[in-house]
Amino acid sequence: MKDLKAIVASIKYVYNEAKNYSKSYIGKVVVYCILSIVAPLLLLLLPTICVYYISTQGDFITFVLVLNGVFAGYITCLSISTYLEQMITWDNTFVRLKRFFRKIYEKCVECDYKFYEASNAKEERLKAEEALYSNWRGVELIMKTTPKFFIDGISLLIFVASSTVVSYQVLLILLGMIIVFLIIEKYAVPAFIKAKANLTTHYNKERYIYKSSKNELKGKDIRNYRLANLLDTAMNKQFTLYAKYARIQSVVLVLPNLSNTIFGFFRDLVAYTLLTTAVINGSISVTEYTLMIGIINSISASLVKIGKDITDLHSASLETQDFMIFMNEQSEFNHGKGLDIKTLTRPLSIEFKNVVYQYKDLDKPTINGLSFKMNPGEKIALVGENGAGKTTIIKLLSGFYKPTSGEILINGHKIDEFNIIDYYSLLSVINQDVEILGVSIKNTVAVTDLAVDEVKLNQAIKDAGLEAKVASLKKGTDTYLTKNLDEEGVLLSGGETQKLMLARALYKDGDILMLDEPTSALDPIAEGEIYQKYNDLTKGKTSIFISHRLSSTRFCDRIFYLRDGHIVEEGSHEELMAKHGEYYEVFTIQAHYYQNNGGNGYESVF
């Protein structure tokens, strides 16, 4: 029963989308169904008409005319329904590609960040996509099968209604066939889905290995460390498992048909025996015999088709349900009305109050009762060893994670009091790992493909130190980055890329600035240039720097030294150096390379 409700819900969901895509879609499907029911009925009549006229030696001209009429009807119905079928098939592919994939992409970009990190959240997303993988699965399968189900169902009803002459024995066998089929199907479909899911899992793993093998970034390590063997062996392991599930899936698919074949044997035996006997002892005519054999065959064929339709709808709806679950995932954050950010006094103040955050798969909180205050316009450096919690703090402040407990306050207001999109607009972030999107420089800096403020754009580019580079490009700011969307796209060097990120942050002019190891790939001179600019960038903003290069902390008003999710030392550079604590230790390590023009070597510092 639950399955039935799910199937109906899935069908409604899918057709709703189809209707949104094209208003005439439903109409086309209805006409197609009607014609597809009528055409085979007409075709069925043909042998019967022949046998009737011949065995009764009816008028030849009438015979030809009747034949003509039936054929004309048949061909007309079939032609129109064929045309519609083709158009509907392409429409189906479109709805899947245009509307459904689009929904997933949109959801990916706007859903909570945690869907990318927690391993089971990623599973949910991958499962949702399975409903869209091909035109024989999920949503498109529903679109293909629902009309078929109605056609086969109504055809069956018509046959059954006109087959009162069919003996009860045959009907009993048919009934048995349906019942056994439904029972098998109840277990076969979930088994099939599971096998399919396993197939997809191993396929995805194979895809990773496959893509790695031809990836040019990984190609260097593959060649120097002779990793071809390792990758090949790993791929073989996946193949073994994949082949196993492929076999299981094939068997499960064929099982219901097996049952049908066995029942079919008995059904045909009984039907033919009864009918031939009836003809021999004169109860029915040869014409009636022909008709009834035709009807029985049609009923059986319909049942088999309906059986397959039910199986397909069942499995497609399971996949569609996964899709719906993912699409219905609620955000943890406030997507509704929030405080008007325009009313906030700038620069902003930031406060963490007893913030606790625990990652789902870890057994201990990473941040456990962290409290600190950042004054308006202050520059804070966040330092500490790897794993101390620096990145977690950034993600919490970015509005990617919600604290397990405690509060994060902006000018005294909780992040939740703002609409999350409004909140994001307060932030300018520059990260260590830069992923370049293949759009133009202008699109990247202004983050839009629509009209931009050219003055502001050029200013941002100038301030980031990219003026010369942009001037050297033929298309200027309209030059595309990478060749993914434009053959004439360019690749920027590491330093130029960082400057581009800076330009974007400048253009956005966010009030909270977060810089996470932005210069680690730059040489000292380029780094120095950028640091100058960061200094300008932070004027009037409240900012956080993360860097291992403690050289960056000199720009900051205060430094937080983090260990195990706690701030263990806090103060200005001079204050912390005077303390002779952990910061002092780490700073001295870095400094000693440069003392005495580097004459100290690597002796122990302490």
Q: Is 597 in the site for another protein (CB under 8 A)?
A: yes
Q: Which is nearer to another protein, 108 or 154 (by Cβ)? A: 108
Answer yes or no whether residue 590 interacts with another protein by CB under 8 A: yes
Q: CA nearest 381: which of 554, 223, 532, 541?
A: 554
List, in sequence order, every residue forming a beta bridge with 381; answer none if it has no partner: 545, 559
Contacts of 358 (CB under 8 A, 6+ apart): 364, 365, 366, 404
Q: Give the Cα separation of 98 and 102 in Å (integer).
A: 6
Measured CA to CA, the distance from residue 537 to residue 519 in angstroms comes to 15
For the segment 105-144, give every residue that binds another protein (CB under 8 A): 105-106, 108-110, 113, 116-117, 119, 122, 125
Tell which positions 555-584 bind another protein, by CB under 8 A: none
**Residue choice 6, 15, 28, 94 for contact with another protein (CB under 8 A):** 94
165 binds another protein (CB under 8 A): no
> Is the Cβ–Cβ distance between 100 and 17 less than 8 Å?
yes
Tokens representing 116?
A: 């990318």
CB-based contact 550:383 (threshold 8 Å): yes
- Cα distance between residue 305 and residue 297, in whole Å: 12
Stretch that binds another protein, among 161-169, 201-209, 317-325, 533-541 (CB under 8 A): 201-209
Full DSSP string of 274-300: HHHHHHHTTSS-HHHHHHHHHHHHHHH
Q: Return the residue of 340, 449, 453, 575 that touches another protein, per CB under 8 A.
A: 449
209 contacts another protein (rule: CB under 8 A): yes
When the beta carbons of 12 and 336 are compared against another protein, the nearer one is 336
Per CB under 8 A, which of residues 508..547 are in contact with another protein? 508, 520-528
Contact positions with another protein (CB under 8 A) in 257-296: 257-258, 261-262, 264-265, 268-269, 272-273, 276-277, 279-280, 286, 289-290, 293
Q: CB of residue 160 vs another protein: minimum separation in angstroms?
A: 22
User: Closer to another protein at the Cβ: 7 or 418?
Assistant: 418
Q: In a 10 Å sphere around its CB, with 0-12 CB exposed, 13-18 middle and 19+ buried, how is residue 202 labelled?
A: buried
Task: Tell me if 468 contacts another protein by CB under 8 A.
Answer: no
CA distances from 64 to 40, 50, 80 (A): 20, 10, 24
Q: Identify the residue among 1, 343, 451, 599 touching another protein (CB under 8 A).
A: 599
Q: Is 431 in the site for another protein (CB under 8 A)?
A: yes
Secondary structure of 511-577 as H, E, C letters: CEEEEECCCCCCCHHHHHHHHHHHHHHCCCCEEEEECCCHHHHHHCCEEEEEECCEEEEEECHHHHH
In angstroms, rounded to a whole number, what is the distance separating the alpha carbons of residues 107 and 323? 11
Kindly state the DSSP code that residue 481 receives in the 8-state scheme: B
Q: Work out how close the CB of 2 gets to another protein at its nearest, in angstroms, rounded to a whole number.
A: 29
Least distance to another protein from the beta carbon of 84, Å? Answer: 8
- Nearer to another protein by Cβ, of 13 and 52: the residue is 52
Length of the chain, in residues: 606
> CB 5 → another protein: shortest distance, Å?
30
493 binds another protein, rule: CB under 8 A: yes
> Which segment (96-104, 185-193, 342-350, 403-411) binds another protein by CB under 8 A?
96-104
Q: Which is nearer to another protein, 404 or 520 (CB)?
A: 520
Who's near 103: CB < 8 A, 6+ residues apart?
Answer: 327
Asked if residue 381 lies in contact with residue 404, where contact means CB atoms within 8 angstroms, the answer is no
Q: How far is Cα 55 from Cα 595, in angstroms, rounded to an integer?
A: 115
Of 288, 516, 548, 486, the closest CA to residue 392 belongs to 516
Residue 53 or 352 having the CB closest to another protein = 53
169 binds another protein (CB under 8 A): no
Q: How far is the CB of 289 from another protein (least distance, A)?
A: 7
Q: Contacting another protein (CB under 8 A), which of 16, 20, 62, 448?
A: 448
Sign of CA dihedral 44, 50, 56, 58: positive
Q: How many CB atoms lie within 10 A of CB 472?
A: 10
Between residue 380 and residue 399, which ones bind another protein under the rule CB under 8 A?
Answer: 384-387, 398-399
Closer residue to another protein (CB): 6 or 31: 31
Site for another protein in 20-79 (CB under 8 A): 46-47, 50-51, 53-55, 57, 60, 63-64, 67-68, 71, 74-75, 78-79
Minimum distance of another protein from residue 6's CB (angstroms): 26
Enumerate residues 298-357 that contact another protein by CB under 8 A.
none
The residue (of 4 and 325) whose beta carbon lies closer to another protein is 325
d(CA 520, CA 526): 11
The residue from 15, 133, 210, 372 that contacts another protein (CB under 8 A) is 210
